[in-house]
Amino acid sequence: MESIDDLTNEHKEIAIFLAIVEEIASRLASMKEANAEDLQWLFEFNRDFVLRAHHGKEESIFFPVLRDIGIPEDPINTLIGDHDLLRSAAKTIRGLIEDYNKGIDGAVTLDLVDTLRFYSTFMKDHIETEETIFYPIVDKCISSDNDMKLARRLRCSGAERIGIGRDAELHEILDSLKLFYGISDG
């Protein structure tokens, strides 16, 4: 399934992002200072790649096609509800990053650590639900012709949502931080 493969490949990128988030949260929990630029970049990657590009194309392209082929509303609505919760947590993280960078107080650091860890855990659970429960349902219901058409639409949509240059920039920074924080692809 090409469409599912494309989304799953994006999940691999998101997993790298989450590993960096977890490493930074661990450093903060150990009372080590976090790099302000890294924190800002994490927020931007999440906002642009995860929420706008990945979740955006799921909500505007993938899910509507699935509704059209008869996938039940309940699992789709549950996944959209997850996206809403992740967007809300991202807004909280943005505010906490701003407060942390101002040097407000230690409570902000603890709140940031807790919220980063919550976000990472929830996102991992969301991805696991998609890959182990939802995608197998889709695989059984979508024709290969519809899958190919859907895959083409998904491939074009992600980078267009944030700009091709921005997409490349985000992945370049992701690769750099992956090396800096010692994160592997697996």
Angle between helices 36-45 and 2-29 (to 10 degrees): 150
Which pLDDT belongs to residue 69? 92
Per-10-residue mean pLDDT of the chain, 186 residues long, equals 94 97 95 90 94 95 94 95 98 95 86 97 98 94 93 86 89 94 84
How crowded is residue 132: how many other Cβ atoms within 10 Å of its Cβ?
Answer: 9
pLDDT of residue 138: 93
The reported pLDDT for the residue numbered 104 is 67
Tracing tokens 């800002």 back to the chain, one arrives at: 40
Angle at 82 between CA 81 and CA 85, to 5 degrees: 90
Please report the DSSP string for 12-44 in residue order.
Answer: HHHHHHHHHHHHHHHHHHTTPPPPHHHHHHHHH
**Cβ 21 vs Cβ 119: under 8 Å:** yes
Superfamily of domain 2-180: nmb1532 protein domain like (1.20.120.520)
- pLDDT score, position 186: 60
| pLDDT recorded at residue 175 | 95
Residue ranges covered by each domain of the chain: 2-180
Provide the pLDDT for residue 143. Answer: 93
Angstrom distance (rounded) from CA 17 to CA 22: 9
- pTM across the whole model: 0.94
Q: What is the pLDDT of residue 153?
A: 93
